[in-house]
Amino acid sequence: MIRVLIATSNPGKLRDFAGAASPLGIAIESLPNFASIPTPAEDGLTFEANARKKAEYYSKHAPEEIVLADDSGLEVDALGGAPGVHSARYAADQPHLVGNNTDDQANNARLIRELRKIPREKRTGRFVCVIAAARDGQTLSVHRGQAEGMLLDSPRGSNGFGYDPLFFFPPIQKTFAQLTPEEKAKHSHRGAAFRHFLDWYLTKN
């Protein structure tokens, strides 16, 4: 079985990647000793900048291995693209100045407050994921995926993480938090980006 290392300890992300990889006989593993490696600052202005920075940084801790890192988030049209690259720390008063992620529940609560002044038909947005693959500190490839949807004013579903309970995906009439890992891999931004990576990877190996 092929092994792919992911620079994350987030169990939700690992489930998402595994859901897309397992049908192809590819094993997803967290980067060894990931928790003990100092975290780089995610100060890029775009998802791609942050993904590249993390992949290059963490790949130095696993010589000769391909290491994946992703940066992802939610863009709400009526909020000018916010929370965007600050999605994981949106609950902070000044998200761009905060190094640590804020709680999912707090982030969702802030988003719900922001949505109250926006008519339901204008609550359009998308999840975006950019995955960078790197080896020995050098980016090898970059892959982007996105999913278009609507934002709800109350959560639905108990699966997933982050903004999944508020992200309603019209083609299947469910939120991402109502999906199994396999269903989410099929429809999500992370699943799309990871499939692009797998297409690239399988043609190179």
- Which tokens sit at 97? 């100045």
- Joined together, the tokens standing for residue 191 give 């699943």
Q: Which residue has the tokens 């931004």?
A: 189
Comparing C-alpha atoms, which of 164, 204, 159, 205 is closest to residue 181?
A: 159
CB contact at 8 A, 67 and 134: yes
Question: Are 205 and 4 within 8 A, CB to CB?
Answer: no
Residues tagged active-site: 71
> Hey, is 6 helix, strand or coil?
strand
Report the C-alpha gap between 144 and 116 in whole angstroms. Answer: 30
Contact call for residues 200 and 179 (beta carbons, < 8 A): no
* Collapsed DSSP state (helix, strand, coil) of residue 42: coil
Q: 83 preceded by cis ω (within 30°)?
A: yes
Separation of alpha carbons 66 and 130, rounded Å: 16
Assigned token pair, 36: 């003990």
